[in-house]
């Protein structure tokens, strides 16, 4: 496939429109359209839905992933033989990892002189979809599913504990019983967050459902802040729990270990290999491996 056409496909999807892609590429919108049509004709498939923003079709998603891999390898090769623009890599990372053990990773990434890194915040349950579609080159995920064309390495596990403000714990869960937990107000990250409901089922049975208020706070730091403020109980990562003010573990047996994996494209990329090593080291420094 024509490299120029593949780069144009990437530009259109990343920019969201043919017009914006033309600005990024420094060519006319008509030229962008011609390149995409030529690529579609060559492959015999429609690759883009001409919507706002532009979206890739099922066939387009497959080509996008290939295009991003080719772009990565091409950029790395160019940097080996000449000093050119930085290699661009996107990494999907879940919010809790970003707010707990990811700090040393940034210090290591800062040492790269040939890398432009985009961190894509994602729920750990959705990361693989970003990898499949080619939106990211690597991802931190809780899934051990092996994706074709990818390499997976276990980082360890993040332990979450049911916790609440001391006054909330004393008022609603004085004895640490499952029945009390069901009736206690609950804080959830977002509607895709399963941890609180899973904890209820483990503590009170498969049919257990919350009977109190439910609050949604879709930010890792503010999620803990809401629990500190007394809005309810929630599953708090141990690294955040250790730094939180006035939080109390409701029951020592109420915890969930969430495994974390680093998955990346199985391409011969020195940068991806190096980033994988950085993540493994950071996870070990934060003792995630002890729960593996």
Closest CA to 163 of 241, 245, 223: 241
Residue 101 resides in a domain: no
Residue 125 resides in a domain: no
Average pLDDT rounded to a whole number, residues 24-48:
91
List pLDDT tens digits, range 190-214: 988 999 999 999 999 988 999 999 9
List pLDDT tens digits, range 102-143: 999 999 999 998 889 999 998 766 788 888 888 889 999 988
Residue 189 resides in a domain: yes
CA dihedral 236, 242, 248, 251 (to 10 degrees): 70
For the domain that residue 207 is a member of, what is the CATH number? Answer: 3.40.190.10
Percent of the chain with pLDDT over 70: 96
pLDDT at 258 exceeding the cut of 70 = yes
Residue 248 resides in a domain: yes
pTM recorded for the entire structure:
0.75
For residues 240 and 219, the answer to whether their CB atoms sit within 8 Å is: no
Tokens 């029951």 belong to 251
pLDDT at 281 exceeding the cut of 90 = yes
Residue 136 resides in a domain: no
Q: Where are the alpha helices (DSSP H) in 44-88?
A: 58-81
For the domain that residue 15 is a member of, what is the CATH number? Answer: 1.10.10.10
pLDDT number for residue 173 = 96
Helix (H) or strand (E) holding 196: helix 195-204
Residue 12 resides in a domain: yes
For 248, the domain range is 158-257
Q: Please give the Cα distance from 39 to 43 (Å, whole number).
A: 6
Residue 10 resides in a domain: yes
Q: Please give the Cα distance from 255 to 157 (Å, whole number).
A: 12
Q: Please give the Cα distance from 65 to 53 (Å, whole number).
A: 19
Pairing of strands 138-141, 214-216: unpaired
Contacts of 76 (CB under 8 A, 6+ apart): 87, 269, 270, 271
For residues 275 and 138, the answer to whether their CB atoms sit within 8 Å is: yes
Average pLDDT rounded to a whole number, residues 239-260:
94
pLDDT number for residue 22 = 93
Q: How many structural domains are present in the chain?
A: 2
Residue 287 resides in a domain: no
Average pLDDT rounded to a whole number, residues 179-183:
96
């Amino acid at each position: 496939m024509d490299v120029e056409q593949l780069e144009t496909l990437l530009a259109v999807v990343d920019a969201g429109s043919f017009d914006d892609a033309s600005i990024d590429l420094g060519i006319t919108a008509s030229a962008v359209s011609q390149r995409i049509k030529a690529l579609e004709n060559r492959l015999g498939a429609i690759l883009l839905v001409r919507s706002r923003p532009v979206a890739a079709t099922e066939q387009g998603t497959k080509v996008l992933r290939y295009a991003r891999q080719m772009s990565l390898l091409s950029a790395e090769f160019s940097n080996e033989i000449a000093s050119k623009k930085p290699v661009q890599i996107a990494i999907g990372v879940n919010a809790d990892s970003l707010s707990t053990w990811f700090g040393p990773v940034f210090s290591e990434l800062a040492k790269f002189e040939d890398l432009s890194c985009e961190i894509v915040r994602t729920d750990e349950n959705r990361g693989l979809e970003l990898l499949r579609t080619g939106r990211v080159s690597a991802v931190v995920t809780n899934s051990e599913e092996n994706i074709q064309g990818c390499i997976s390495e276990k980082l360890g596990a993040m332990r979450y504990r049911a916790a609440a403000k001391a006054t909330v714990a004393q008022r609603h869960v004085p004895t640490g019983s499952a029945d009390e937990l069901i009736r206690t107000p609950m804080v959830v990250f977002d509607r895709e967050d399963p941890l609180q409901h899973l904890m209820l089922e483990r503590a009170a049975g498969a049919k257990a459902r919350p009977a109190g208020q439910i609050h949604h706070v879709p930010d890792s730091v503010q999620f803990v802040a809401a629990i500190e403020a007394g809005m309810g109980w929630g599953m708090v990562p141990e690294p955040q729990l250790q730094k939180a003010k006035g939080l109390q573990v409701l029951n020592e047996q109420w915890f969930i270990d969430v495994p974390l994996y680093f998955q990346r494209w199985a391409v011969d990329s020195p940068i991806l290999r190096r980033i994988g090593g950085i993540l493994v080291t950071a996870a070990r420094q934060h003792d995630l491996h002890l729960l593996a």
